[in-house]
């Protein structure tokens, strides 16, 4: 299982050739479900535990299966509804399966919450069963939430926004992007860590994307375009919080999130153009990019591709 996790880690971080690449986010944050602020790719360990638990469910629900009769015979489980335990130590396979009860309880998931015997109906019931099938994915999700109580707020994963952009903003929220100060902290030597756009502050992720005078000017123009009162953000987290709680109409909110995430993404691109290609982009040019990019995202990737560019140009939050 450790080897499998290693392969997955190498894939996410860019392959074994990139051994010395900086790992920007802790692995447990990557496997943590999105509902608790993670990236939600899930761990093999939790998948394995959920799969093992499914065997326990099958043991009690398929009494006529040949394998169940063998297990019941070996471990003398017939007629003992609440027992799963392995009697004979030589049967290590079943022993491992039965141990999953303990493993669940170690992460504060009482086995009774996963499945229990109902005396009144003489049946086993489980909240993880739907349409008669034990849902491994649902249990895995529950296990991961219990295993990783890392919670730094809900992050809106909006369909209309490309995954690479969402992934970038998710990282930026935790200050895990290659800004000058972050690179320096990780031992990369740089001539200067001062922001090249304003030359007046340390280049941190929050500075590039929220507090730099260039970012402030871009947000001012974007808010003007949206017909909203101006806002000064202090961090990427500020932007996410504002966007994900704004207004009462979910459709409009979704559009605003798309526009503001597009703004953050375009500010990052502008920063990279300046550093790596020596191209200086003015605020107006960045805003034009945000407008066309968010238009394309909403039109082609959003659930209601009804944004009219002419309407969008004057009142993007119209719905």
Residues that bind Zn ion (CB under 5 A): 195, 197-198, 212
- Alpha-carbon distance of 282 to 184, in angstroms, equals 27
Q: Given phi > 0 = left and psi -120 to 50 = alpha, else beta, which region is 259?
A: alpha
| Nearest-approach distance from CB 246 to Zn ion, in angstroms | 26
Give whichever of 125 and 279 is closer to Zn ion, judged by the CB atom: 279
Report in angstroms how near the CB of residue 213 gets to Zn ion at its nearest.
Answer: 6
Q: Spell out the alpha helix ranges (H) of the chain.
A: 2-13, 27-31, 44-61, 66-75, 92-98, 100-106, 111-114, 136-147, 163-173, 180-185, 205-206, 213-226, 236-245, 250-277, 283-296, 309-314
Could you tell me the smallest distance in angstroms from the CB atom of residue 184 to Zn ion? 16
Nearer to Zn ion, 144 or 181 (CB): 181
Nearest-angstrom CA–CA distance, 271 and 119? 65
**Residue number with CB closer to Zn ion (212 or 256):** 212
Between 179 and 294, CB nearer to Zn ion: 179
- Specify whether the CB–CB gap between 209 and 267 falls below 8 A: yes
Nearer to Zn ion, 77 or 197 (CB): 197
Q: Which long-range contacts (CB under 8 A, 24 or more apart) does 22-31 make?
A: 22/178, 22/183, 22/186, 22/188, 24/171, 24/176, 24/177, 24/178, 25/171, 25/174, 25/176, 28/148, 28/150, 29/148, 29/150, 29/174, 31/144, 31/148
Pick the closer one to Zn ion by CB: 197 or 210: 197
Output the furthest CA–CA distance in the chain (Å, rounded): 77
What's the min distance (Å) between Cβ of 211 and Zn ion?
8
CB of 196 to Zn ion, least distance (A): 8
Q: How far is the CB of 194 from Zn ion (least distance, A)?
A: 8
CB 200 → Zn ion: shortest distance, Å? Answer: 6
Q: Which CB, 163 or 275, lies closer to Zn ion?
A: 275
Beta strands 116-118 and 123-125: pairing type?
Answer: antiparallel
């Amino acid at each position: 299982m450790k080897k499998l996790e290693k392969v997955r880690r190498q894939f996410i971080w860019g392959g074994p050739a990139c051994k010395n690449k900086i790992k920007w986010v802790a692995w447990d944050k990557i496997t943590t479900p999105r509902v608790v602020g993670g990236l939600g790719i899930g761990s093999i360990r939790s998948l394995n535990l959920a799969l093992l638990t499914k065997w326990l469910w099958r043991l009690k629900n398929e009494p006529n299966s040949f394998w169940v009769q063998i297990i019941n015979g070996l471990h003398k489980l017939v007629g003992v509804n609440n027992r799963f335990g392995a009697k004979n130590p030589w049967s290590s396979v079943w022993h491992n399966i039965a141990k999953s009860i303990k493993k669940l309880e170690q992460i504060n998931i009482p086995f009774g919450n996963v499945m229990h015997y109902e005396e009144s109906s003489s049946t086993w019931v489980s909240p993880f069963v739907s349409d008669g099938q034990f849902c491994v994915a649902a249990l895995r999700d529950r296990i991961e939430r219990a295993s990783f109580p890392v919670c730094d707020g809900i992050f809106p994963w909006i369909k209309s926004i490309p995954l690479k952009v969402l992934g970038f903003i998710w990282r930026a929220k935790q200050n895990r992007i290659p800004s000058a100060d972050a690179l320096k902290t990780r031992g990369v030597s740089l001539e200067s860590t001062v922001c090249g756009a304003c030359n007046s502050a340390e280049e941190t992720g929050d500075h590039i994307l929220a507090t730099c005078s260039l970012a402030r000017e871009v947000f001012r123009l974007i808010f003007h375009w949206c017909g909203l009162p101006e806002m000064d953000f202090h961090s990427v987290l500020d932007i996410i919080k504002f966007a994900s709680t704004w207004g009462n109409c979910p459709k409009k909110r979704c559009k605003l999130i798309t526009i503001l995430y597009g703004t953050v993404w375009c500010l990052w691109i502008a920063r990279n153009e300046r550093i790596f290609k020596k191209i200086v982009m003015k605020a107006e040019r960045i805003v034009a990019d945000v407008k066309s990019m968010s238009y394309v995202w909403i039109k082609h990737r959003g659930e209601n591709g009804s944004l009219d560019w002419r309407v969008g140009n004057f009142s993007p939050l119209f719905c």
